[in-house]
Structure 1
Amino acid sequence: MLYVYCDSKKETTREAFLDNNVTFTSHLIIPEEDMPKRTKPDHLLSKLITEFEEQGQLINREYCEESYYIRLIQHYERQFQFDKALNLTDQAILLYKYKQDFYLLKAKLLMASQQASIALEVLDQAYAISPMNPEIQFLKARACALIQQFDDSLKIIMDLKCNIQKTDLPELLLVEAFIYETMKDFNKMFDTLRDALILNPNNHEALEQIWVSVEFSKKYEESIRLHQDIIDKNPYSYLAWYNLGHAYSCIGEYEAAVDALEYSFLINQQFEQGYLDCAELCLQINMYEKALQCYVDANDMFGPDAELVVYIAECLIKLNRHKEAKHKLQKAIYHDPYNEEIFFYLAECFSYESNYQKAIKYYLNAIDLDEQREEFQAGIGKAYENLGNFKKAESHYKKAATFGMEQSQYWTMLISFLLKRGEKVKAEKFLARADKYSFGADLLYCKSAFYFMEGSRENAIECLEEALSENPNLYAILYEILPELKEDKDVQSMIRYFNI
């Protein structure tokens, strides 16, 4: 169990905090960028946008101050309308020829729009105005990296390290890490960001970027040690907990990973990704109740959101709470009628209730939106099988196996369906095809059943032994195809032996 330390110096878990109505944020000042924002109409910005859109420039002298230009440029940058932002920047440079800020803005916009070579020319102009500004060199290093001039970009960094002020070193290390990332040298990227975090454990940008380097360099153990050290210095670093959780997950320490991810959003209740990643991991390791709680909390905090409702429904279905899931999905369909997942999970709910006609209707809705989802095809195939429409069932099972050819479960559904129907020739063909693309104990049980049906008992027993060695819990597949094997003493003996 991981622990977070509050002001009382006592170790505590999420339950303790919630039971006592204590929140982490009562002891923590969240950075301004992480706080929820109240959005008010910005009438001045609206006027600036209207004038620029209508006139192509800011004509009203009242609006020609540099702060107005910066606001409008930043607006178009946020909208990814780089052409308009660059147009405004050029206008501002004509008015404020010796103002380096507009040159730097222009260089950043050019780099964002994949024009790094031109950005270097603009930065040379900025350097002529303000040669002592280190940000110009930082941007030059980034621009050189973007056009694959890595020797030049690293030389800029090395030269700066010789005489840079200590206050500028964190930014320098971030730029160096960016260069290594562009070079795809993730080991050096990790080492550089680690240096930045040793220098300042609260470096928000370094904490945001370091996971990329960990994921590609696979330095999970080093990442765990680093983030544990950061948490020792600042137990309320939500990004440190978040990164720690992912590192634990990658080495299979799933309970520790869930705890760490949970702390990330308990510390910063506006950190949506923390809720979602924690919930996703809980789903993967069958902690459905906890996954459900994370998704419900996220929907309460950031919703209503149709995607989150789908995840909530999935958890409810896993918990056999189909009625609740169906109710939520039927409400969600009105808000998002083009979400194939909503239709699919509704179909699953109706299948659970054995209302196969209704289930087929919703499966077809889902398939209309995304035909190549193997689980949609498998679901409708099962519904048709239960209604006795074997021709359509086989058709959809084949599509499921084709679209999900690397997943053994869909081949198993098709082959077991054919074997139950006595279609051994077809089943043999698909067994051979499945062997090319997939592997799983479920397929071995199907193969064993096929050999039993062929009268090749020796091969059947050999195949059954291999299947039981792989996964002894899936033996029901064999009984589903050949119920009479429940009376076979050899088969029963083998299953008991492997399930002790």
Structure 2
Amino acid sequence: MSRKTNQNNKLSKLIAEFEDAVQSFSPELWEEKSFLKLISHYENQGSFDRALAVADLAIKQYKYRVDFYLQKARLMMINMRFAEALNILNQAFSISPYEIEVPLLKAKILTLQGNPEEALIIIDEVKLIFQNADLHEILLMEAFIQESMKDFDKMFYTLREALIINPNNTEALEQIWVSVEFSKKYDESVSLHLNLIDKNPYSYLAWYNLGHAYSCLGEYKKAIDALEYSFLINSRFEQGYMDCAELALQIGQYEKAFQCYSDANDIFGPDTELVAYMAECLIKLNRHKDAKSMLLKAVHQDPFNDEIFFYLGECYFSEKNWDKALHYYKESIEIDEYREEYHSALAHVYCEMGNFKKAETHFAKAARCGQEQSQYWAMYIKFLLEKQNFEKAEKIIRRADKYSVGTDLTFCKVAYNLLTNNRPAALIDLEEALQEDSSMSKILFEIIPTLQDDVEIKGMIRYFSV
């Protein structure tokens, strides 16, 4: 018999004995570790009343063991019975005044009650009493309190201190990125984590945090390298694969992104969400056939994944198979009707099929769903201008200005003014748009192809493109 099976049998026996004891009101004397195992079992099962009953029984039999008071207080804290938990901790303090877990748990409960200032007073007192012996535990609790106060600058420096004491403090490494993200201390985070890596080159969490700091500083190559090290060191670190893939996808490294998603799927899958991400990478690489093959298998495994249907639509759109593309885009919208890219894709299919009424409907829905994203308003306005629906285009331009900002919208205004014979206003807007991003001027020629012969406008574009 395996050791694990033997342990499970012992636990089952303990549970049965406890249930009998509750029924007969005559609990037997158990070893302390038996009580701890039972409390852990019931807590994992979500049976907090049972876990508390075991803790009460343990306190009766071992009334001078502070561990059981701490367990009971922790269970009450989880159930938001804060006043009772604090009362139990006062009893624990009278039994063991030098047990550091007692004031630390009290500080946590006070923080959860909304009294972080009182909790910090306890932390200051604990630092004086315990000094350096358990400083890393004290600092972690201090950081927890600072996070609750949204004091992310202090939280960062507190966790940095904890990591200087112990560079391998997993909890501090897991928490520090929250403080970096909100305090924007990216440069200091890079410096800290490089020092930590010097001390332990195999700290996967240090590499992971370093990758995120580099990413926020715009150093994407360094970021991807660091994120990649995180999962090369710990092959079971799923978040490392995912974040590396996401960043690679954002900066156009589609092969790298595909490989990360593929590796994650091999290790943690099969997972249809990962298949959808992989398909997106393949589509970006113009490998539509490979993407379609993968997606057609996945659609049977998960018929409720909207992204799988959407990317299948993209594959068929690339083949100019409008009917199939239409079918799969509609399926994706059936599952999630609030995705702007789905409505935009469906609108483009309807355009290809000559159904401009339905195309307009879905351009409008795309703009409403993604109202803060200028490109969906620009698509809608561009469609209206191409259809010479100038009155409605003007209304949509005004509406877009309320919700979104973008150079593409300014170019749409230029096109609108040119098409409605307001050239002076068009030239003013054109100068503004070219100063913002001259590379987007192609929008003008898509809407008004005859501008290729407009010497003045082409001259302005050349001037601002230099």
The residue that corresponds to 1:221 in the other structure is 187
1:346/1:443 CA distance change after superposition, 3 Å? same
The residue that corresponds to 2:68 in the other structure is 102
**Two-structure CA RMSD over aligned residues (Å):** 2.6
The residue that corresponds to 2:12 in the other structure is 47
**Aligned with residue 113 of structure 1, among 79, 82, 85:** 79
After TM superposition, the structure 1 stretch with the greater mean CA deviation from structure 2, 438-447 or 389-398, is 438-447
1:418 Cα offset (Å):
0.9
After TM superposition, the structure 1 stretch with the greater mean CA deviation from structure 2, 71-80 or 261-270, is 71-80
The residue that corresponds to 1:198 in the other structure is 164
1:325 Cα offset (Å):
1.3
The residue that corresponds to 1:5 in the other structure is none
1:401 Cα offset (Å):
0.6
Whole-angstrom distance in 2 between the partners of 1:310 and 1:78:
33
Decide whether the 8 Å contact of 1:197 with 1:203 is kept in 2.
yes
After TM superposition, the structure 1 stretch with the greater mean CA deviation from structure 2, 413-422 or 39-48, is 39-48
Identity of aligned residues (%): 56
The residue that corresponds to 1:281 in the other structure is 247
Decide whether the 8 Å contact of 2:407 with 2:433 is kept in 1.
yes
Aligned residue pairs: how many?
463
Decide whether the 8 Å contact of 1:51 with 1:57 is kept in 2.
no
**Aligned with residue 425 of structure 1, among 386, 391, 394:** 391
**Would you say 1:453 and 2:453 are equivalent positions?**
no
- Deviation per CA, 1:389-434: give whole Å up to 9, x if none: 1111111111111111111110011111111111111111101111
Letter in 1 for 2:230: S
The residue that corresponds to 2:378 in the other structure is 412
Q: Which runs of 5+ in 2 are unaligned?
A: none
**Aligned with residue 261 of structure 2, among 295, 301, 305:** 295
**Aligned with residue 322 of structure 1, among 273, 288, 313:** 288
- Deviation per CA, 1:303-330: give whole Å up to 9, x if none: 1111111111111111111111111122
Decide whether the 8 Å contact of 1:144 with 1:152 is kept in 2.
yes
Whole-angstrom distance in 2 between the partners of 1:455 and 1:152:
69
TM-score (norm 1): 0.86
Letter in 2 for 1:180: Q
**Would you say 1:127 and 2:125 are equivalent positions?**
no
- Deviation per CA, 1:80-108: give whole Å up to 9, x if none: 55444334433443444433222211222
1:311/1:76 CA distance change after superposition, 3 Å? farther
1:47 Cα offset (Å):
3.1
Whole-angstrom distance in 1 between the partners of 2:289 and 2:324:
15
Whole-angstrom distance in 1 between the partners of 2:330 and 2:139:
54
1:40 Cα offset (Å):
7.5
The residue that corresponds to 1:353 in the other structure is 319
Whole-angstrom distance in 2 between the partners of 1:52 and 1:394:
70
Decide whether the 8 Å contact of 1:363 with 1:376 is kept in 2.
yes
After TM superposition, the structure 1 stretch with the greater mean CA deviation from structure 2, 405-414 or 441-450, is 441-450
**Aligned with residue 141 of structure 1, among 107, 111, 123:** 107
**Aligned with residue 477 of structure 1, among 423, 428, 443:** 443
Partner-residue secondary structure (3-state), 1:98: coil
1:68 Cα offset (Å):
3.9
Whole-angstrom distance in 2 between the partners of 1:76 and 1:380:
51
Q: Which runs of 5+ in 1 are unaligned?
A: 1-37
**Aligned with residue 432 of structure 2, among 444, 454, 466:** 466
TM-score (norm 2): 0.92
- Deviation per CA, 1:129-149: give whole Å up to 9, x if none: 322211112111211222123
Decide whether the 8 Å contact of 2:163 with 2:169 is kept in 1.
yes
